Chains A and B, each alone.
Chain A
Amino acid sequence: MAAGGLDAVLTVRDLRVAHIDGPSSRTLVAGIDLTVRAGETVGIVGESGSGKSLTARALTGLLASNLSATGQAVFEGRDLLSLSEREWRTVRGRGIGLVLQDPFTMLSPTMRCGDIIAESLPPGRRSTRTRRAEVLRRLVEVGIEDESVMDRYTFQLSGGMRQRVGIAAALARNPSVLIADEPSTALDVTTQKEILELMTRIQADRGMALILITHDLRVAFAMCDRVHVFYAGSVVEVGESKELDALPLHPYTLGLLQSEPPVDHRVAKLVTIPGAVPRPDDVVDRCSFAARCQWSSEVCTSAAPPIREISAGRLTACARIDEIEDELREARQLVSVPASKRGFERAGTTIISAQAVSKVFGGSGQKVVALDSVSIDVGEGESVGLVGESGSGKTTFARLTVGLESITGGHLLIDGIDVRDWRALKRADLRRLRQTVQMVFQDPYSSLNPARSVGWTLAEAVTTHAPDTRSVERRVGELLASVGLSPDDAQRRPAVLSGGMRQRVAIARALAAKPRILVCDEAVSALDVSVQAQILNLLTSLRDDQGIGYLFVTHDLSIVRQVTDFIYVMSRGRVVESGMTDDVLNAPQDPYTIKLMESMPRPDGAWLGR
């Protein structure tokens, strides 16, 4: 735990990062204070655009050339922010290390893993043999015992292995501070847990200071001694993990905690944070969260409230905390109350019926079995979850239901139509199928045509699926309203919309065909937690209002818990367990489901064996 009393290794005072564009400048991060001591893990939590990654870049001197950092960051008696590029090179790697989010892009595809680590070692002459031995020692430290990894290229390794190699490279010069920017976000849940455990162990063994940047409060609470909550480029709350989790002292932190669906139980309705994150420059004279805060009053909008210490090590930027503390406490406790059990029976008509479906990719050469005798049913108005990690075959199944792939074995009936081969279907059947099943994809940034306005995209969908629509414009307006957007948004292009708004547009587009089943392929996993909660609530209300059924394809058990009635758990192309959602998650039977449950992040150090 916290190594209090030890001297700070890194002290950041009033860090400000601005985007410089000729004479004008735009603030991205402002007034950041941060202290890290040896052997301590400090968390930076925030949603996208909160400035957490920029802070990491500023503290390693790796900001883009049009960004500038001011303030003070004292490390080993030197102010980092005034270093020249040449001086920075003596700090990076040796003093402060950095691990990036995506192990798939972080390592050069043209280098062997051993060389990546070897080049990162402290400078000095070594014989080939000692160098190899040293690299191997470093690999063992990150849990890779297999010597052949040294001679492999990164693309020959799994995501988890790549991240281990990345960590070994970042640690090669033995930094006293390691900054890890979302080190496990791009990984599967079971791999995420392994990587976090590894980092916890290494941090303790080396007595190194660790700054963990994450969007996931549960991960932050499990890993860190102290957590800083970032919002719109500044710190709104600081506290020890346990205290923060038990009682947030800022409405934004509370909002984050409320938005996160718990894995242990279902809550009646996810509380969401309305609105969107403002730009730091627009809120310099007020509390940055005031516009979205239910407790906002005149105090909050008359001046920017400074962050202040409430008790030892506990800081908040909420001006009204003394008045609203009890209300926050009450609201916090509400989240942990389970909702009443939903009565549900699989009685409706089956719309998607898959019996012993298999899908094999590749022809005569190498064959890859993506689905191996999978039987899945989705009925009218049901919400069904399909859970698994990458490579489980869950996305392949989703693609089969909308005709992006055809089955290679078994039977797939959709609305009574036998869809053995999508290309061989009659036009009339195809039209009926399009109006039965529609899909929402994971990434709202790439699933919408950037060159076309939202209205154009929706009008296209309307005229495709219902060519006899009399007023396309009115229908587009209805669709936008049904997903909580305004008719004015029709004129906008995807680029100016936030991720959540884009995903709403993608949902509206799918709704244009008036489908009976909506297949959501990781439809919320690219979104921030507060936005994710909004979309989940939207999907729930669409189901209540229009009777739409869902097939939720996801890796996230807490989402499944929140929005589905029945689940199938998939692993390596097979369904390993299925049943009522609460039954399966409360008492998982298959070893894989059990492992998946254990891997779900919990806001407790014990989860990582701390």
Chain B
Amino acid sequence: MDWKDWATFVSKRLAALVVLFVVLSFVTFALMYVSPGTVVDVLLAGRPRSAATVHALNVEYHLDKPFMVQYWMWVRDALRFNFGSSIQTTLPVTDEIKARLPTSLLLGVYAYVLTMVSGIGLGVLAAFRNKRAVDRVVVAGTVVGLSMPSFVAGVFLLFVFAVQLPWFPAFGKGDGGLDTLWHLTLPAVALAMTSAAYVLKHTRAAVLGVLQQDYVVFARARGLSNGRVIRVYVLRNALIPILTISGVLFSYLIVGGVLVEMTFSIQGIGQLLVQSATAKDLPMLQGVVLLVSAVIILVNLLTDVVYLIADPRLRLKHG
């Protein structure tokens, strides 16, 4: 594949993403209508109701216009990152998201790095110590990791490392820099546990599979060093299937942050999502949902590109 093929590939995928995004935005917008009660009820949210306020709201939110016109107006604003104002706080949705996004992204990336490093590292270790004590302990650990929901892990971590041993803070997102990392460590660990167990299981299976391959035997038969065989043959080939799941995992970590953010009282997107859902804050919900889906879609595109780079068989199939 030369740069032209890459450009075609990426632009094709981007075009598909635009279509997907239009559908998504439509569904998100329609949320307002499928939720119980009229939009005005939601907007009033228990405040006193009068003909004048209802009329004012109808005009302000263009509720007197046909559905498609309303959608179009909403999309037009959304394209300029204007999702209106929160019903709860009356602040612009965008400002609220902007304030919280960095923390959530940092938590997601932190958990992602922990997942990959520990999952792959322990997975490889378990595979090389197949059926020995180390392997059995690690595999037993994955069962615990997979079966423990992140908020349970969170509460447990809080109890041990924040209450019993006061090494880490129990809540909040810190004051930036290292302090933020310090604050986010326990949440990230809680969040990463399940996904790390998942990556570990896959890595172990993939490495065991690759170790059986003729090309590993042939590499050893040529007298290559152990390190080279592991790096260039075992890891290089075993990590291709891991890459595919890693993209999905990143999405999971961003969305899955909800429970952990609640457990550790972190002012993040997840917490915002929960709060606005409880309060039926539709403009806020729409903004957050659209943002999260955008992140997920882009991460998936990125994964596919990386996958193509990693596996020449896909890249050059017709070459």
Contacts and interface: CB of A to CB of B under 8 A. Distances in A.
B11 interface: no
A102 interface: yes
A60 interface: yes
Interface stretch (A107-115, A281-289, A293-301, A462-470): A107-115
B222 A170 contact: yes
B253 to A, nearest CB: 27
A93 B229 CA distance: 14
B19 interface: no
Contacts of A381: none
B233 interface: yes
Interface in A75-112: 85, 89-94, 97-98, 100, 102, 105-111
A173 B313 contact: no
A46 interface: no
Contacts of A173: 222-223
B313 A98 contact: no
Contact of A92 (B223, B228, B313, B318): B223
A119 interface: yes
Residue of A62, A108, A169 ringed by the most chain B CB atoms within 10 A: A108
B217 A62 contact: yes
B215 A107 contact: yes
A366 B221 CA distance: 39
Contact of A94 (B223, B232, B240): B223
B220 A62 contact: yes
B265 interface: no
Contact of A110 (B222, B225, B236): B236
Interface in B227-282: 228, 232-233, 236-237, 240
B214 interface: yes
B313 A109 contact: yes
A172 interface: yes
Interface string B192-216: 0000000000000000000001110
Interface string B301-319: 0000000001111001011
Interface residues of B, number: 26
Given A93-B221, A119-B228, A172-B222, A153 B312 contact: yes
Interface string A164-182: 0010011011000000000
Residue of B215, B224, B318 ringed by the most chain A CB atoms within 10 A: B215
B219 interface: yes
A92 B222 contact: yes
B313 A111 contact: no
A156 interface: yes
A482 interface: no
A43 to B, nearest CB: 20
A609 to B, nearest CB: 28
Given A108-B237, A110-B236, A366-B318, A120 B224 contact: yes
Nearest to B317: A155
Contacts of B223: 89-94, 120, 173
Contact of A100 (B214, B224, B311, B312): B214
A359 to B, nearest CB: 20
Given A93-B223, A97-B221, A173-B222, A106 B215 contact: yes
Given A62-B220, A169-B222, 20 more contacts: A91-B223, A92-B223, A93-B221, A98-B221, A100-B217, A100-B221, A105-B215, A106-B215, A107-B215, A108-B215, A108-B219, A108-B237, A109-B215, A109-B237, A109-B313, A110-B240, A110-B312, A111-B232, A156-B316, A173-B223
Interface of A: 60, 62, 85, 89-94, 97-98, 100, 102, 105-111, 119-120, 153, 155-156, 166, 169-170, 172-173, 366
Instruction: For the complex of A and B, list the 3 residue pairs with the smallest distance between their C-beta atoms, beginning with the closest.
Output: A93-B223, A98-B221, A92-B223
7 contacts: A92-B221, A94-B223, A106-B214, A108-B215, A153-B312, A172-B222, A366-B318
